[in-house]
Amino acid sequence: MGGGARELAGYLAALGGWVAALATAVLPQWRQSSYAGDAIITAVGLHEGLWMSCAAQSTGQVQCRLHDSLLSLDVHIQTSRALMVISLLLGFFGIIVSVVGMKCTKVGEEDPITKSRIAVAGGVLFVLSGLCTLAAVSLYATQVTYEFFRESTVPINARYEFGSALFVGWGAASLTMLGGSLLCCSCPAKERRGQQYYRQSQPSTAREYV
């Protein structure tokens, strides 16, 4: 795969991962009520996310409510919120920086070495964005797992398990880091060696004509 095609593939993968991370942050299905056990004790399906909690009736009606207070939330929710916001910001800047540094764009064509370095910087931003998404989703999943298996008087079919947003988040983190890694492969070493060779060959050529 050529350098330009590799950069384009990495950019598209990272962009898709960022969009999926945005959907992950917005979706309220970070955890959902479990139906494990002998009997279903309620006809209401509960979903909770970083920003709101929802209740789905058996009739199909869904009611959602935003979390009332930030300070009253559990620590893992606040941490996951912060990590997702940081991830989206890093990814947004990665989108802008990568467009400038990619070979298929005409911005800064007169300096290919600097252009390649900018593409690498965009890839690094994408990798960091993916790591933040992975940390946020994994932290939340760890807390859900702990609450599900800990000793409690709450029936097992009234506890919470993984929601669909967690799986979307893991996929988003993988895509973003994969795309960022491909962009980081835009190493300008070959261009640098070529430029050094060109500079060294210029004086000797000039002396020959004199």
Return the number of other C-beta atoms located less than 10 Å from residue 118's C-beta. 22
Cα separation values, 190 from 8, 113, 122, 196, Å: 19, 9, 19, 10
* Spatial distance between the Cα atoms of 121 and 116, rounded to a whole number of angstroms: 9
Mean pLDDT of 27-55: 76
Cα separation values, 165 from 58, 59, 182, Å: 21, 23, 26
pLDDT band at 192 (very low <50, low <70, confident <90, very high): very low
Angle, CA 19 vertex, CA 14 and CA 22 arms, to 5°:
125
Q: Which residue would you say has higher pLDDT here, 165 or 64? A: 165
Q: Which helix (H) or strand (E) holds 62?
A: strand 62-66
Cα separation values, 123 from 11, 71, 189, 194, Å: 8, 35, 16, 24
Residue 201 has pLDDT above 70, yes or no: no
**pTM, full prediction:** 0.80
Give tens-digit pLDDT for 139-168.
999 998 888 887 665 656 667 888 899 999
Give tens-digit pLDDT for 70-92.
777 888 889 999 999 999 999 99
Give the pairing type, strands 52-56 and 45-48.
Answer: antiparallel
CA proximity to 166, closest of 68, 47, 57: 47
Q: Considering the domain delimited by 2-27+70-187, tell me its CATH architecture.
A: Up-down Bundle (1.20)
Encoding tokens for residue 7? 């950069």
pLDDT of residue 3: 65
